[in-house]
Structures are given as structure tokens and as C-alpha cells.
Amino acid sequence: MQDQATESTGSIRRSSTSSRTRKKKKNQLPAGFAVVILIVLVGLFLGTKNGMLALFWTFGCIFGFILQKARFCFTASLRDPCITGSTSVTRAVLIAFAITTIGFTAIKFGAFASGQAIPGQSYIMPISLATVVGGILFGIGMVIAGGCASGTLMRVGEGFTMQMLSLLFFVIGSLIGAGHMGWWTENFIAAAPRIFLPDVFGWAGAIALQLAIIGLLYVAADLYEKKKMGITE
């Protein structure tokens, strides 16, 4: 009993000593206020040069804040189900796809119905084997780097050294790709078909089909997580 009491007293002393030597967390409020003031000053400065620059700066800061707080990453949406079984980010991405599908369809159909040129048609890219190969290579790169473009930028802002290295080579690879894009387009991409779903299924059919596919993927992701986590209703 005496030995137990001595051991207990020793553990209490060690615990109290470690708590005293533990460093207090630094107050980050001054740094936070300084960053906010800096953001506002930069926005005002850009506004004196060009109103659009200030708008881009504002939306960029807001978008970065949302990404950081939501931990939103396209890589995680495909990686997490395989590693942890969680599909929360996967389902968030699918919800984002559904919302953007409705929004962009409304914009495009509004222009079509009023007889105006449909915006964004130049971004309908040809679908070919190059699309599949490029997607696989980019997916492999995302997993190795630990993040997609948005996730990499978010973690660079958080100070992750590895993501800074990833961002550097992301820029280098993009510059090399842009320099050689003309050759790839001429030899592999230009001859491939461009598919605009409203031309195939009509406007109502296109949005219904796309939302149905997104909905089925959402249900499948939810069932997959429940199965992996052993959740029973």
C-alpha cells in the first residue's frame, strides 16, 4: 500500500511539473487583426488601380477562408473513401456539382432562350483517350502531392512546406504543358468530338440526366461509408 501511495504521489508530481513547464499558447488575436487590416489595405490599394482587381482579391480571400475551414479538397473526395472509408468530402463535392449544374444551366439556358450567344461554349473540350490518360496522370499526381490545386493552395497558406514544393512544380508543369499544348491539341485532341448534353438530350433532359447521375453517386457514397464504418440503421 505504501509503495502504491509513493508511486501515486510521484505520478501526481510529474503531472504537476509537466503542466507547469507546458508552454502557454500564444495569443493569436493581434496577428489575426494585423492580417485582416493588411487584407483591407491591399484591397483598397487594388481598388485605386482597378475595381476588378479589388473584386478578385475579395473573392479570393473569401474562397480561401472557406476552403481552409471546410477542408475542401477534390483529392480527399476520391482518396478518403479508399483510405478511411469516409465519404463526407465526396458527398460535399457532389452537392457542389449539383448546385453548379443548376446555376450554369440557368445561365446558359437564359442566354439561349433570349437568342444570345451561350456563354462558356469555348470551354466544351473534346473527349478522347487524351482525356482519360490526362485524368489518370493528374489523379496520380494529386495523391502523391497530397492535394489538388485548391487543396495545395489552402495548405500553402497554412504553412505546409511540402505543399509549397508541390505548388512550385505545379507551376513548372503548367508552364511546360502550356508551351506544348498546341502540339498535343493538333495531334491528339482537335479531331475528338465535343459533346454538349443539351444538343443530345435537350435542356430538360440534360439537366435531369446529370442530376440523376449525381444523385445516384451520392446515394452510393453514403451506402459505401455506412458499410465501411459498420453503421446500421
What is the Cα–Cα distance from 2 to 8, expressed in whole angstroms? 10
Q: Is the pLDDT of residue 216 over 90?
A: yes
Cell of 34: 494585423
In this prediction, residue 121 has a pLDDT band, given cuts at 50, 70 and 90, of: confident
What is the Cα–Cα distance from 65 to 208, expressed in whole angstroms? 33
Considering the chain, what is the average pLDDT of its residues? 82
What is the Cα–Cα distance from 11 to 3, expressed in whole angstroms? 12
Query: Count of H helices and E strands in the chain?
Result: 9, 0
Return the higher-pLDDT residue of 58 and 14: 58
| Chain center to CA of 224 | 21
Q: pTM of the full predicted structure?
A: 0.67
For 135-145, how does the pLDDT look when each residue is reduced to its tens digit (9 = 90+)? 888 888 877 77
**Mean pLDDT of the region 105-131:** 87
For 6-21, how does the pLDDT look when each residue is reduced to its tens digit (9 = 90+)? 444 555 455 555 555 5
87 burial via Cβ count (<10 Å: 0-12, 13-18, 19+): buried
Among the ranges 4-13, 23-32, 56-65, 215-224, which has the highest mean pLDDT value?
215-224
For 156-185, how does the pLDDT look when each residue is reduced to its tens digit (9 = 90+)? 877 788 888 888 888 898 899 888 888 888
Q: Is the pLDDT of residue 5 over 50?
A: no
Where residue 195 falls (left for φ over 0; alpha for ψ -120 to 50; beta otherwise) is: beta
Least confident of 22-26, 46-50, 84-88, 225-229: 22-26
